[in-house]
With several copies, the nearest count.
Chain A
Amino acid sequence: MTDWLGPEEWRAVALSLRVSFWATLASLPFGIFIAYALARWSFPGKQILNGLVHLPLILPPVVTGYLLLLLLGTRGPIGGILADWGIVFAFRWTGAAVAAAVMAFPLMVRAIRLSIEAVDPKLEQASATLGASPGWVFLTVTLPMALPGIVAGTILAFAKAMGEFGATITFVSNIPGQTRTIPSAIYAFLQVPGGEGSAMKLVIVSIVVAMGALFLSEVIGRRVAARVGGA
């Protein structure tokens, strides 16, 4: 540790950023889709879908991680099939991203759903009368009008992904460079005498990163709101 942070720690920071970024990005389309479905459609099993989405919030993260391990592990029912196609999550950074995405998903969906619900259906109707098919109505009216919530949901998910620990370490362990994210590294430091100092440094790094993201989202949100401001 010649530097303020050692190379091990920098690796954890870089990994956390990568994991959170991809977790957020990859789950965004699903998040928007499910939020829209929950906000605007009614279909059988809607309550079950809603419950499933919220499950990671309700369960202790260890349980979520354990379930992920059982399902997506190389010997799991889904993980096994995926493994045949060459997609492996277990003990890879991609698995960490999956864990983070699953844990952050309820937050993302809620925020987006609230924003979609706030879009006046009368504007969507107006769009339809002008010839926009449901898909275009969504793309040109619903989506841009719900943008503040989408930004909020994305940043919330990113922050949650940055802080995710329990499910990640249970699902993909704590392997440096692969699955040792900032929270896992902090955990390791806190498990031994004298590790608090190093842990604190990582805490500060994650605060800085997350605050940056948060600040960015506020700026974007304000700009979006100013554009939409007042009908």
Chain B
Amino acid sequence: EEVVVFAAASMANALAEIEGSFEAATGHDLVVSLAGSSALARQIQQGAPADIFISASTDWTDRIEGDGLIEDGSRFDLLGNSIVLIAFGDADPTEIGPGFDLARLLGDGRLAMAMVDSVPAGVYGKAALESLGIWDAVEPQVAQADNVRAALAFVATGEAPYGIVYATDAAAEDSVSIVGTFPADTHPVVVYPVVDLANRDTPAEAEFLDYLRGPEARAAFERQGFTVLVD
């Protein structure tokens, strides 16, 4: 049987691993469509044949839920992530806290972020900077990318000296180093909510949702640097 999962593109690696083991374990066929959460959500609104939706942010899930497109009670937060400040090349790790003078650090360089009003990583980053009281100082120097990976690329190529990305992305890139992690209380929690969509119901869906909570999935997610929020 086929299970169609619409998932935020940043989960590609983890889902690729899980797909293999899930199919081997259950004999079902897992089909994963990876795109930006907004695109996926809109497609679901337009009747996409998806069974499961894993978003990178809560607001699109809220929207789907508001439209009555999800199975009641099926929503749960699967993964968490943290956001970090990265620098091109080697950098001294610093504690990020109130009074952190990011503006001085930047000089006239750019701070690469995902879009601060629309892409989740950017929204979280902006919230963190605001709660630290340094947003206004650095705002003119923010270079916004359409996704986290593009923001990372700016730093990785040295185009921007600093950037704010997910910890999962920062870990895998050799040419950047993590300056510091934004304290979890400076921004809304980074969560990846999972929902079962209310179009059709098959046993396979349930099996997959269970599998996501299971140990194999946990291991796969953790290998990619995610925090698994279910137990």
Contacts and interface: CB of A to CB of B under 8 A. Distances in A.
A65 B171 CA distance: 23
B143 A69 contact: no
Contact of A191 (B49, B119, B173): B119
Interface in B132-168: 142-147, 149-151, 153-154, 157-160, 168
A193 B168 contact: yes
Interface residues on B, range: 35 or more
Interface string B56-73: 000110110000000000
A188 B34 contact: yes
A187 B160 CA distance: 22
Interface in A179-231: 179-180, 184, 187-195
B38 A73 contact: no
B172 A174 contact: no
Interface centre among B12, B112, B119 (most CB of A within 10 A): B12
A68 to B, nearest CB: 10
Contacts of B150: 62, 65, 169-170, 173
A8 to B, nearest CB: 8
A137 interface: no
Secondary structure type dominating chain B contacts? mixed
Contacts of B9: 187-188, 191-192
Nearest to A173: B143
Interface string A8-42: 00000000000000000000000000000000000
Contacts of A170: 35, 39, 42-43, 145-146, 150, 153
Given A69-B157, A70-B157, A175-B4, A191 B147 contact: yes
B158 A74 contact: yes
Interface string B99-130: 00000000000101001011100000000000
Contact of B171 (A177, A187, A193): A193
A91 interface: yes
Nearest to B9: A191
A179 B167 CA distance: 27
Given A91-B110, A193-B173, A175 B145 contact: no
B145 A174 contact: yes
B34 A174 contact: yes
Contacts of A70: 46, 157
A65 B145 CA distance: 12
Contacts of B40: 173
B181 interface: no
Contacts of A144: none
B81 interface: no
A23 to B, nearest CB: 20
A188 B117 contact: yes
Contacts of B94: none
Nearest to B158: A75
Nearest to B64: A193
A65 B40 CA distance: 12
- Counting from the closest, the 4 A-B pairs by CB-CB distance are A193-B172, A191-B118, A191-B9, A173-B143
Interface of B: 4, 6, 9-13, 31-36, 38-43, 46-49, 59-60, 62-63, 110, 112, 115, 117-119, 142-147, 149-151, 153-154, 157-160, 168-169, 171-173, 224
